[in-house]
Amino acid sequence: MPAYFNFAIKRLWQFVLVVFIGINIAYVITHVTPIDPVEQSISAVTSFGNTSPEAIADMRRSLQELYGLKGDWIEQYISFWRRILQADFGPSLSAFPAPVTSLIARALPWTFGLLAFTTLVSWSVGNLLGALAGYYRNNRSLKFFGVLAMALHPVPYYIVALSLMIVFGFIWPVLPITGGSAMDVQQGWNWQFVASVFHHSVLPALSLIMIGIGSWFLGMRSLVSNIITEDYVVYAEIGGVAQSRMMGSYIIRNALAPQVTGLAMSLGGIFNGAVITEKIFGYPGLGTLLVDGVYAGDYGLVLGVTSIAIIGVSLSVLVIDLIYPLIDPRVQVAS
């Protein structure tokens, strides 16, 4: 237990460091852009008519304080971290005066649900089929799936998403291609809304799952193909160990550890794929919110979504790191 405690403390410090560095990089990038939210807001207001210089000066001071841009760069940086700790990213420039936090709070459940479901399905199904393909190497159905996985693996997310949109939205229009739910359905925990959400999420989820399954399938098949040649597996087969126990205790369990590590390393890429997929299908998640914020020059919204994404991905990696020693106890000793 002390070994695991030390391991957990190290991973927790790594999590804090990664989040701190990531948010700082996002802060620097958004603040070196030529877009000034204060001047843009003033231009939008003054474009409707003449405004006195005194009113403009008062407006500028109020907006600088509102956006956290008052004072020199040190004061702005301190104000930024104070807002971060209070979960306050200020108002959105593109949806003024709506707070960025409220926009993120509305979009976050959509992205979390989509990513949690697609990651779980693609990782579980891909690893299971990959393990079977590595063990039953002469099975024709698994061989065909392997060819299909190799074909889909290098294809970008947006190509798969656009292909699904064309097929199921135009050629054979049986699935909705935009939005998170039907517009005439009242949102809430009712069966009609849940069914509508599921119906609208089929294509975005399918585009992520198709790419994800292929990646996990190929990795697991390669691992199992190497493990079945190990001496302990050969001896177990000679000893007459049942195939079900062979697959569960001898093969999959040993091949699963690298796949857990791969899951932690791929979460950032999965989120990037979700950003593109959400925008293509008009899905009301963080991806759509981020792209819209970039187009609108809403640096507060971009910074808020980026910060939440950094924290979310890093937290997921931390959880996987803490679970990993339970799968492979040697890790906490080595750490």
Q: Is the pLDDT of residue 248 over 70?
A: yes
**Neighbouring C-beta atoms of residue 124, cutoff 10 Å:** 12
Q: What is the pLDDT of residue 185?
A: 76
Q: Is the pLDDT of residue 216 over 80?
A: yes
Lowest mean pLDDT among 226-235, 266-275, 298-307, 326-335: 326-335
Band of residue 49 on the pLDDT scale cut at 50, 70, 90: low
Band of residue 44 on the pLDDT scale cut at 50, 70, 90: low
| Cα–Cα distance for residue pair 169/206, rounded to 1 Å | 14
pLDDT, tens digit (0-9, with 9 covering 90-100), for 78-96: 888 888 888 777 777 777 7
pLDDT, tens digit (0-9, with 9 covering 90-100), for 259-268: 887 887 777 7
What is the overall mean pLDDT for the chain?
81
Domains observed in the chain: 39-86 (no CATH), 108-298 (1.10.3720.10)
Q: What is the pLDDT of residue 29?
A: 80
Q: Is the pLDDT of residue 331 over 70?
A: no
Q: Which residue has the higher pLDDT, 130 or 186?
A: 130
pLDDT, tens digit (0-9, with 9 covering 90-100), for 281-310: 888 888 888 888 888 777 788 888 888 888
Percent of the chain with pLDDT over 90: 1
Q: What is the pLDDT of residue 226?
A: 84
**Neighbouring C-beta atoms of residue 144, cutoff 10 Å:** 10
Q: What is the pLDDT of residue 17?
A: 92
| Cα–Cα distance for residue pair 242/248, rounded to 1 Å | 10
| Cα–Cα distance for residue pair 305/163, rounded to 1 Å | 28
Mean pLDDT, residues 182-189: 76
| Cα–Cα distance for residue pair 332/327, rounded to 1 Å | 11
Q: What is the pLDDT of residue 45?
A: 65
Percent of the chain with pLDDT over 70: 90
Q: Is the pLDDT of residue 39 over 80?
A: no
Q: Is the pLDDT of residue 329 over 70?
A: no
Mean pLDDT, residues 145-152: 85
Q: What is the pLDDT of residue 100?
A: 85
Q: Is the pLDDT of residue 246 over 80?
A: no
Mean pLDDT, residues 227-236: 80
Of 113, 311, 295, 265, nearest to 204 by C-alpha is 113
Mean pLDDT, residues 309-331: 79
Q: Is the pLDDT of residue 112 over 70?
A: yes
